[in-house]
Structure 1
């Protein structure tokens, strides 16, 4: 049984195709940004500026020492610096993910239009992994920055809204997938629904008497 019968003011097909198109735009844009970073001539300078900004945001009260003298501030990054190497690996991993997301979103668009369920499966797998990964990363960051979270409450609310939208998008595409499957094999799904209803009625007295 599909969770959604339609998507707002349009059909499930149109809503799923729009989700695929929006995801394709975001993934291609993210991949292009990663390529620009990887191929940048002054990658170390870009990462150094980002690191300096992060340092000053995380240490607003440590810019001056106990005697009123300015502290050393963020250290200079070098090519062999572990932090720099870690960021480079993250950029490469993000680039690979954006490629996989672009492929899955393209398949979702075609699968939604043609109602081909097998073309929708890669997107659902990638989306489910993305939701779990986003929650895990957000949870780790929230745990490490728990003290500073009151200053970044807007970021917390934004991430919660993003996760909710990702889950809704997954449920909507899953609804289209189930609707197509039910149309292809109505006797199977009707039989399964009757079996579930029979089990529920047989157990009803245990909970509602």
Structure 2
């Protein structure tokens, strides 16, 4: 008997998991109006827990969440639907932004996550690593901003305020702006040529230019 008892003890049943009430499960499925939206809410809760535990940082989660929101909005969910998904720790303040911009971020972020090792986020977003010696977009924007500022400086000096006595030729203005910024006259001329039409069109739009065509050289 003792041996039999020991044998039975060695053959005890393995513990089973908790049982599920099929009626309750069926009811839950019927009550879920939007399964994908519920899955999104659960995922965002997980993100918030990971943020609190410092396993993921806020910028990483922001890119994940923005991509998910963009996809849900493109699929027809309302902003109210999306607001019901995120954790209350994220606050209630919102802004409206173009969906196309969020989708661009989502696609670049997705490309980065599933890219082979060695591909940077900047490359995935196509803002760096353009090849053929092209500088990163941040450097290109810096140059564009500089040139636009130079062109503005030329235009503001060249166009005379009505009644002002100190009229200057365009060539003299190029020299003055170049000297003020420590640049060559050719650099200033090139910057002005690139941006003068856009600047004049804007001035013309607001009715600031008087008797001057925007095509003027």
TM-score in terms of structure 2 length: 0.28
Which structure shows the bigger proportion of residues in helix conformation? 1
TM-score in terms of structure 1 length: 0.29
Q: Which has the higher contact order (CA 8 A, sep 6+)?
A: 1
Radius of gyration: which is bigger? Answer: 2
